[in-house]
Amino acid sequence: MAPTLATSFARRWWMAVTAVIENLLFSAVLLGWGSLLIMLKSEGFYSYLSSLNISNASSSEDDYLEMNGWPICKDQDEMLNLAFTVGSFLLSAITLPMGIVMDKYGPRKLRLLGSACFAFSCLLMAYGASDPNNLSILIFFALALNGFGGMCMTFTSLTLPNMFGDLRSTFIALMIGSYASSAVTFPGIKVIYDLGATFISILLVWAGCACLLFLNCFINWPLEPFPAGHVALKKPTLFPHTQTFSHQSFIKSIFSSIFLLSLITMCVTQLRLIFYMGAMNTILESLTEGDLSTVSVYSSIFGVLQLLCLVTSPVIGQVMDWRLKDCEDDNDKSAKREPGQPRRRTKQIQKIINATRAFIFTNLLLVGFGVTCIIPNLHLQILSFILHTIVRGFIHSAVGGLYAAVYPSSQFGSLTGMQSLISALFALLQQPLFMAMVGPLDGDPLWVNVGLLALSMLGFCLPAYLLLHSRHLQRLQDERDEDPKIYVKMNNGSQPEAFV
């Protein structure tokens, strides 16, 4: 029996804490692919491709490498990376239909489905590891279910902050930070694996944890979508079951200036961040003159720093929620103030001003990141790692907070899904950029980084528009407050006379 919205509202702090933990363990864990790849090769997934190459080759077996007693080769890497491509593609491509489904049916059913898919993905992976020579194909299905289940966790958790009123942007940032930090999950599992735990036992325990997630959702998450936060806080027992598009149609929201400019900002930022992630090892090799041990150390540092997303993302959420408690509700006509005292800002105007500051700050960090990428200094790359991690958490939190502030909550999932899908498609440009870097540019990333730095300047279009938009709204509010009422009275004569 699903709980009512009022019951879920009373349990909102428990749901928020567990959602953060669940995001860390089950959302975008595929972003830690490097560590999973090592474990899969150590367990012999697709190692028979290497064995076939050895038997068909004229050279000796000493020309081939082994990992944990299993042969490894280029064909194996290509096959496993193809499986990763399938899973990571679902992390982005499924966002739009998932958002539409969630807006219509609420988060409960989608979260239950996601947790079940994640648990099943762990079982498939464990079953494949029991006989990799015959069952390696299961890794494709396992990673596809892993990507789908992880995105279910992420999307449904983004609706939970509606229960926290003026702190909604802060909690959205916290959820996004835990999602971005989930890239450390597989590196953490690899540590356990290196300590002697078997791969199959780790996956079985992980599947059991996913079952606990299913149980937690079944007990605490309601059937109805979470309404806007202010409604939830004021009248928890009178929740509306659904929210309609009466305020603004979905099509109108898509073609609004704010959404289109946010698309430009996200596309540019995603391309900048993803290109660095894909080319990082190549860039580090050029800076270390091919010292692979140093490259491995710096890659590990980059992985550990992903936890910064969990710490830094709520900072931008605080910026988005700044001084909202001191503002008047947009439709509150009963607010009293002393004669001559100016009216306080409405929450709508304050939210737009806060979003302007958040995007200016984020874009300045992105430009700083671009500058550090241009300077060919190995030690400076640590600063690049930090800025990369902070920007990755900030940009998702800022966009999520902006959509929550400007658009109806019933459109949040659909708009976020549309933005995620389009920015993911645009980020595919990183592949030709990478090919240009390793080809015509002979591994030198300078001109690619210069071009991306120039492209990053487009990110300032959104805060510039938000600044003008907030001033326009403030001017309309001032005119409405100061405009005197004109009354007309008739004198003894026939001519009307206006007076204030």
Domain membership flag for residue 85: yes
Domain membership flag for residue 247: no
Residue that is last in its domain, among 188, 206, 238: 238
Q: Are residue 51 and residue 110 in the same domain, yes or no?
A: yes
* Mean pLDDT estimate for the chain: 79
Q: Are residue 19 and residue 104 in the same domain, yes or no?
A: yes
Q: Are residue 216 and residue 320 in the same domain, yes or no?
A: no
Domain membership flag for residue 249: no
Domain membership flag for residue 493: no
pLDDT at 211: 94
Q: Indicate which CATH number applies to the domain containing 353.
A: 1.20.1250.20
Domain membership flag for residue 494: no
Residue where the block lists tokens 């790692």 = 385
Q: Give the separation between CA 435 and CA 440, rounded to whole angstroms.
A: 8
Q: What is the dihedral of CA 120, 121, 122, 125, to 10 degrees?
A: 120
Residue that is last in its domain, among 203, 238, 273: 238
Q: Give the separation between CA 297 and CA 304, rounded to whole angstroms.
A: 11
CB 486 within 8 A of CB 498: yes
Q: How far is CA 272 from the centre of its chain?
A: 15
State how beta strands 496-499 and 487-490 pair. Answer: antiparallel
pLDDT at 332: 56
Structural domain boundaries enclosing 354: 255-325+346-479
Q: Indicate which CATH number applies to the domain containing 111.
A: 1.20.1250
Q: Are residue 158 and residue 80 in the same domain, yes or no?
A: yes
Q: Are residue 170 and residue 298 in the same domain, yes or no?
A: no
Q: Are residue 103 and residue 214 in the same domain, yes or no?
A: yes
Q: Are residue 285 and residue 198 in the same domain, yes or no?
A: no
- Output phi, psi for 131, to 5 deg: -150, 75
List pLDDT tens digits, range 336-387.
555 555 667 777 788 888 889 999 999 999 999 999 999 988 899 999 989 9
CB 114 within 8 A of CB 150: yes
Tell me which amino acid residue 109 is.
Answer: K
State how beta strands 70-72 and 65-67 pair. Answer: antiparallel
CB 158 within 8 A of CB 416: yes
Q: Give the separation between CA 182 and CA 69, rounded to whole angstroms.
A: 30
Q: Are residue 296 and residue 212 in the same domain, yes or no?
A: no
Per-residue pLDDT of the chain (500 residues; tens, 9 = 90+): 788 888 888 888 999 999 999 999 998 888 777 678 778 888 888 888 876 665 555 444 444 567 677 887 767 777 777 777 677 777 776 777 887 777 777 788 899 999 999 999 999 999 999 998 888 899 999 988 998 898 888 888 888 888 887 777 778 778 888 888 887 888 788 888 888 899 999 999 999 999 999 999 999 888 877 775 444 444 333 333 344 444 467 788 889 999 999 999 999 998 898 788 767 767 887 888 867 678 767 777 877 887 887 788 778 877 877 877 777 765 555 555 555 556 677 777 888 888 899 999 999 999 999 999 999 888 999 999 899 888 987 888 788 778 877 888 778 777 888 888 888 788 778 778 877 887 788 778 888 999 999 999 999 999 999 999 888 888 887 777 665 443 344 344 444 443 33
List pLDDT tens digits, range 482-496.
654 433 443 444 444
Q: What is the dihedral of CA 227, 231, 233, 239, to 10 degrees?
A: -60
Domain membership flag for residue 208: yes
Q: Are residue 282 and residue 196 in the same domain, yes or no?
A: no
Q: Give the separation between CA 146 and CA 25, rounded to whole angstroms.
A: 12
Coil, strand or helix at 496: strand
Domain membership flag for residue 428: yes
Rg, the chain, Cα only: 26
Domain membership flag for residue 491: no
Q: Are residue 57 and residue 205 in the same domain, yes or no?
A: yes
Residue that is last in its domain, among 177, 205, 238: 238
pLDDT at 100: 74
Q: Give the containing element (helix H, strand E) for 309.
A: helix 308-320
Domains in the chain, number: 2
Q: What is the dihedral of CA 383, 384, 390, 396, to 10 degrees?
A: 170
Q: Are residue 136 and residue 220 in the same domain, yes or no?
A: yes
Q: Are residue 125 and residue 272 in the same domain, yes or no?
A: no
